[in-house]
Chains A and B, each alone.
Chain A
Amino acid sequence: MKYPESYRYTREHEWIHLEGDIGTVGITHYAQEQLGDIVYIELPAVGQTFRQLQAFGTVESVKTAADLYMPMSGEIIEVNQEVVNHPEIINQSPHERGWLIRIRVHDLTEFDRLMSAQEYEAYVEQSS
């Protein structure tokens, strides 16, 4: 599995894709693989704001439940209703159709503190 070059990654296995100050956030292929079949996802309401690495939601699989962490500080401007209704999309397409939230980013410099695709790939290899 290739991790998109233009995305940045957290140690908690979220990705963010930036366009201007709008960020799209999801969980990585590695995260969905570790979770197994995802059965439920809880996402925040539009308008809520979170700090970088604050928990913004939860994801549940048959095996486990895990918190979702904000890659960057920001305000929720859109929630992917499709994955709420069909969480299996996250398993099928974690980096594209399975995106979770869109945020208006507060501090663009936080982007540089996240891992690049290569760094994340190395990080995942080391932890598995």
Chain B
Amino acid sequence: MRDSNRTTQHIALEEPLLFERSRPGRVGYSLPPTGVPETPVEDLVPTHLRRDRVEGLPELSEFDVVRHFNRLAQWNYCIDRGIYPLGSCTMKYNPRLNEAIARWAAFTEAHPYLPDEFIQGCLAIQWHLERYLCEITGMDAATLQPAAGAHGELTGLLLIRACLEDRGEKRTRILVPDSAHGTNPASAALGGFEVVHLKSDERGLLSPSTLRAAMGRDVAALMITNPNTLGLFEEDILEIADILHEWGAFLYMDGANMNALVGIARPGDMGVDVLHLNLHKTFSTPHGGGGPGSGPVCVKASLAPYLPVPRVAREGDRYYRVWESPKSIGRVKAFQGHFGVHVRALAYILSFGRDHLRDIAVHAVLNANYLMARLKPYYHLPYDRRVMHEVVFNDRRQNPSGVTTMDIAKRLIDYGLHPPTVYFPLIVPGALMIEPTETESLEELDRLVEALVQIAREAAERPEIVCSAPQKSAFRRFDEVEAARHPILRWSPQDFPPAWKGTKGIEQNVKGQGHST
């Protein structure tokens, strides 16, 4: 914190939009005469496919463009730059070993249309990854097809639906505790189910009595996130599984927080019937814009017949794809899923090995509890219990001086740090949700702690500094309400004349761009 001015210099540069950098007639190419007769565009493109006019496209040299994007890249905060403590998101280091292996030509130049004999290595990777994921989770079979976590959720629910139809049972409801990930109810609705919310108890956990009261023959499954979004382990998970199974319903586990359990406890042993994993969380593959993600689904044997095709199988030393499976729900993703991500995840698992995989969970949990212990004197802890991989504070102690969670998050930017997740989970008003992950060192954790402690002091003594943050970034606080109520979804020269035509400043432009996607 000695020189926080310097830490934010990368975001203190100004960089105009390409449209504003544009100068009439500037180009980035030099082409020789065509040497053949020119055909008017009207003869080539039908009228209904032609635009009447193209207005305001930027005119730039190659160098202008290269500099522009390099500068934007330097503004970007990323995990390779500093701690990225987003709760519920597991933003951890992507080891370079994974990247190096995923770039081998044997993988990058393989094509999914090649016959099985030509891609034995690729199929072996998928086969082994499936086996390892099943071993780690205590499940019987897996699919690597889903493109990301929520896609995995939908796939898991479609498996449940297929199984219920097969049994001739009509079950319409999915139970979702209020401490689950927000995608769970959305996936259940998309899967054609009615969503019923269950309230967590004063411990922040789902109590068996709440579940019992909601059970009926129309309940298809419970979707539980374990550890839940409060960072707490669902201690009654065995009883919860029993209740569901007594009623003939399934236990779905959102495995997004699996890095708290890896090598220590297995969902399969807890009675879970189906779960998805996020390779881009637990298994360190790139995440958050750097993706793509990957959301494998692991199931118990009862659901295995319904898994998507093609599946990868092995006979002796030969790997092959099984294209037909009578009860399969069919494809959920083109080709073999995000294969490059599978390579990275397998590299990650193998680089730890069986004996050290549990270090992931041990350090993830230790780091979160360290943050809890260090920050507890300064921030209110709504559920004061031993946490797993993440910890949820809120702004109750700062509220009397007018400081909110949003202000605290914005102030962290002035300290050169990425803010944690805010206002989630919804059951904690003003939530400030921090997940350090296992890959941060003690020194990095202390940097975050010192900044947050300093901000707590500022909130008490000089709240106006916190409330007006960020002050050191290129742009001050955006008008998020205005941007959400009146989003400007497309740049146009009328709204924002280029600099050489008008005088509107960059701040205004950026404001208009906020929340546009």
Binding site for B on A (CB under 8 A): 34, 37, 39-40, 60, 62-64, 66, 87-88
Q: Does B485 contact A (CB under 8 A)?
A: yes
Nearest CB on B from A60, distance (A): 8
A72 to B241, CA, bound (A): 34
18 CB contacts below 8 A, A to B, read A34-B429, A37-B481, A39-B481, A39-B484, A39-B485, A40-B484, A40-B485, A60-B484, A62-B481, A62-B484, A63-B422, A63-B423, A64-B423, A64-B424, A64-B426, A66-B426, A87-B485, A88-B485
Nearest CB on A from B479, distance (A): 10
A62 and B480 contacting across the interface, CB-CB below 8 Å: yes
Nearest CB on A from B402, distance (A): 14
- Contact residues in A for B480 (Cβ distance below 8 Å): 62
In the complex formed, the residue of B with least CB distance to A34 is B429
In the complex formed, the residue of B with least CB distance to A40 is B484
- Contact residues in A for B422 (Cβ distance below 8 Å): 63
- Contact residues in A for B426 (Cβ distance below 8 Å): 64, 66
CB-contacts of B403-449 with A (<8 A): 406, 422-424, 426, 429
Nearest CB on A from B19, distance (A): 27
A28 to B424, CA, bound (A): 22
- Contact residues in A for B481 (Cβ distance below 8 Å): 37, 39, 62
Nearest CB on B from A16, distance (A): 21
- Contact residues in B for A62 (Cβ distance below 8 Å): 480-481, 484
A116 to B504, CA, bound (A): 53
Give the most central of B406, B423, B480, B485: most A CB within 10 Å. Answer: B485
Nearest CB on B from A12, distance (A): 10
Nearest CB on B from A68, distance (A): 13
Nearest CB on B from A38, distance (A): 9
A63 to B484, CA, bound (A): 11
Nearest CB on B from A91, distance (A): 10
A125 to B463, CA, bound (A): 26
A34 to B484, CA, bound (A): 18
- Contact residues in B for A64 (Cβ distance below 8 Å): 423-424, 426
Nearest CB on B from A86, distance (A): 8
A64 to B481, CA, bound (A): 12
Nearest CB on A from B174, distance (A): 14
In the complex formed, the residue of B with least CB distance to A127 is B429
A56 to B364, CA, bound (A): 40
- Contact residues in B for A60 (Cβ distance below 8 Å): 484
Nearest CB on A from B168, distance (A): 27
In the complex formed, the residue of B with least CB distance to A67 is B197
Nearest CB on A from B292, distance (A): 25
- Contact residues in B for A88 (Cβ distance below 8 Å): 485
- Contact residues in A for B406 (Cβ distance below 8 Å): 63
Nearest CB on B from A5, distance (A): 27
A15 to B481, CA, bound (A): 25
In the complex formed, the residue of B with least CB distance to A60 is B484
For the complex with contacts A39-B481, A64-B424, 6 further pairs of A-B residues with Cβ separation under 8 Å are: A40-B484, A60-B484, A62-B481, A62-B484, A63-B406, A66-B426
A39 to B481, CA, bound (A): 7
Nearest CB on B from A107, distance (A): 21
Nearest CB on B from A31, distance (A): 12
- Contact residues in B for A34 (Cβ distance below 8 Å): 429
- Contact residues in B for A40 (Cβ distance below 8 Å): 484-485
Nearest CB on B from A52, distance (A): 14
CB-contacts of B469-488 with A (<8 A): 480-481, 484-485
In the complex formed, the residue of A with least CB distance to B422 is A63
In the complex formed, the residue of A with least CB distance to B405 is A63
Nearest CB on A from B238, distance (A): 31
- Contact residues in A for B484 (Cβ distance below 8 Å): 39-40, 60, 62
- Contact residues in A for B485 (Cβ distance below 8 Å): 39-40, 87-88
Closest 3 CB pairs of A and B: A39-B484, A37-B481, A63-B423
- Contact residues in A for B423 (Cβ distance below 8 Å): 63-64
A60 to B515, CA, bound (A): 14
- Contact residues in B for A39 (Cβ distance below 8 Å): 481, 484-485
CB-contacts of B301-356 with A (<8 A): none
Nearest CB on A from B163, distance (A): 27
In the complex formed, the residue of B with least CB distance to A88 is B485
Nearest CB on B from A122, distance (A): 18
Give the most central of A34, A63, A64, A66: most B CB within 10 Å. Answer: A63
A37 to B423, CA, bound (A): 14
A63 to B404, CA, bound (A): 12
A84 to B485, CA, bound (A): 11
Nearest CB on B from A56, distance (A): 14
A62 to B480, CA, bound (A): 7
In the complex, per-residue mask of B480-509: 1 if CB is within 8 Å of any chain A CB, else 0: 110011000000000000000000000000
- Contact residues in A for B424 (Cβ distance below 8 Å): 64
A16 to B440, CA, bound (A): 51
A34 to B429, CA, bound (A): 8
Nearest CB on A from B53, distance (A): 32
In the complex, per-residue mask of B211-234: 1 if CB is within 8 Å of any chain A CB, else 0: 000000000000000000000000
- Contact residues in B for A63 (Cβ distance below 8 Å): 406, 422-423
A126 to B485, CA, bound (A): 32
A87 to B481, CA, bound (A): 11
Nearest CB on A from B257, distance (A): 21
In the complex formed, the residue of A with least CB distance to B423 is A63
Give the most central of A40, A60, A62, A87: most B CB within 10 Å. Answer: A62
Nearest CB on A from B230, distance (A): 16
- Contact residues in A for B429 (Cβ distance below 8 Å): 34
